[in-house]
């Protein structure tokens, strides 16, 4: 190879060059994991039984998703043409954006919200239009509605939203869908089980509504990477063109039916988290920590200028929490995942000790 060309490397698309790198802090997590809104315990024992039976021989085959899509569709009272399994909701977002967003289009995004919408949109030629929530971090419905234009191609709504835990009502989502018939309304119901309200029953009836669900949260299968996108069959045909037929692996596909079937486990885990959330809210109130009302398995709290030190000291006490200070309008705010009551009592102790240490530190200054 001539020497001059050896130092040259192929240039990626300009859009990719302009993208920000995104590195979620996944390292060193052998502690109480209250940082990624995961299930903090385990998946259903029925899933573990199936995992134990997976043979080496079965891994030699390519995964076949259609039979499992039919099971999931049935579970959701939809037809299989309306449901695509994905490698986590992240793949659903990625594929949906790649399918619909092109130059001149707008992605309308209430912020703060889930980071990956902006990450995947920034790889397309579309323009991201953000609508900042007020200090109460409630869903900025009126301003979102006012921001709809003929260029709006996707409106992405995490419901409940992260990191705020706030929700959009069914009536608000329907009004947005009616006001932007030319746009896809993506309702990301990653935290649906903790909220208990869904709009998935209107798939097909509302021609521009799609709903995403994940198995990473309540089901406790974040490591398997399993999500789904549900939408009108006509729209899903386009999405399937972009979706790899192999992106959901055979282990995930094998685990999905027992995960769906074991409603007793899911109900138990969700009720445990809801009880723990109520207890932890009381502990935050007693400690006079400002918090935002949450319908999900996490709570956003106000720590203020010492947010980074708070996260560091909590880690030292064996509890991982997530600094959301760089999210729009979230300076000084930290998100704490809710686990079981026992875990949250431990977290409450760590929180009180950490707050006392921070207070002592600022008084000494």
Positions touching ligand PLP (CB under 6 A) are 37, 88-90, 114, 158, 162, 188, 190, 214, 216, 222, 227
Write down the least CB distance from residue 206 to ligand PLP, Å: 20
Write down the least CB distance from residue 20 to ligand PLP, Å: 18
Nearer to ligand PLP, 222 or 317 (CB): 222
Write down the least CB distance from residue 26 to ligand PLP, Å: 12
Write down the least CB distance from residue 18 to ligand PLP, Å: 24
Nearer to ligand PLP, 126 or 187 (CB): 187
CB 72 within 8 A of CB 86: no
Nearer to ligand PLP, 118 or 354 (CB): 118
Nearer to ligand PLP, 119 or 357 (CB): 119
Nearer to ligand PLP, 158 or 173 (CB): 158
Residue number of the CB atom closest to ligand PLP: 88
Note the Cα 248 to chain centre separation in Å: 18
Write down the least CB distance from residue 217 to ligand PLP, Å: 7
Nearer to ligand PLP, 190 or 313 (CB): 190
Write down the least CB distance from residue 305 to ligand PLP, Å: 26
């Amino acid at each position: 190879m001539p020497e001059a060309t050896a130092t040259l490397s192929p240039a990626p698309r300009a859009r990719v060059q302009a993208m920000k790198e995104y590195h979620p802090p996944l390292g060193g997590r052998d502690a109480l994991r209250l940082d990624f809104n995961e299930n903090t315990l385990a998946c259903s024992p029925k899933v573990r039984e199936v995992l134990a039976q997976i043979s080496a021989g079965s891994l030699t085959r390519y995964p076949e998703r259609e039979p499992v899509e039919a099971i999931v569709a049935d579970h959701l009272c939809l037809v299989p043409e309306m449901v695509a399994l994905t490698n986590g909701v992240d793949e659903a977002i990625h594929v949906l954006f790649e399918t619909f967003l092109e130059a001149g289009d707008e992605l309308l995004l209430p912020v703060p919200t889930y980071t990956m919408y902006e990450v995947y949109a920034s790889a397309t030629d579309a323009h991201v239009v953000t609508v900042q929530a007020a200090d109460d971090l409630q869903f900025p419905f009126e301003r979102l509605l006012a921001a709809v234009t003929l260029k709006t191609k996707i409106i992405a709504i995490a419901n409940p939203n992260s990191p705020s835990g706030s929700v959009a009502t069914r009536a608000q989502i329907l009004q947005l869908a009616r006001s932007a018939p030319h746009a896809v309304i993506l309702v990301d119901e990653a935290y649906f089980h903790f909220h208990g309200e869904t709009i998935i029953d209107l798939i097909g009836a509302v021609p521009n509504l799609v709903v995403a669900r994940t198995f990473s949260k309540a089901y406790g299968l974040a490591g398997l990477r399993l999500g789904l996108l549900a939408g009108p069959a006509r729209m899903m045909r386009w999405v399937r063109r972009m979706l790899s037929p192999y992106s959901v692996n055979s282990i995930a596909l094998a685990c999905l039916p027992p995960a769906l079937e074991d409603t007793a486990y899911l109900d138990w885990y969700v009720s445990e988290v809801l009880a723990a959330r109520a207890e932890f809210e009381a502990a935050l109130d007693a400690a006079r920590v400002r918090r935002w009302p949450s319908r999900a398995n996490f709570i956003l709290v106000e720590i203020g200028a010492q947010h980074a030190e708070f996260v560091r000291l909590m880690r030292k006490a064996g509890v991982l929490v997530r600094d959301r200070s760089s999210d729009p309008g979230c300076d000084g705010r930290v998100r704490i995942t809710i686990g079981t009551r026992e875990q949250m009592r431990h977290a409450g102790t760590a929180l009180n000790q950490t707050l006392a240490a921070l207070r002592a530190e600022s008084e000494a200054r």
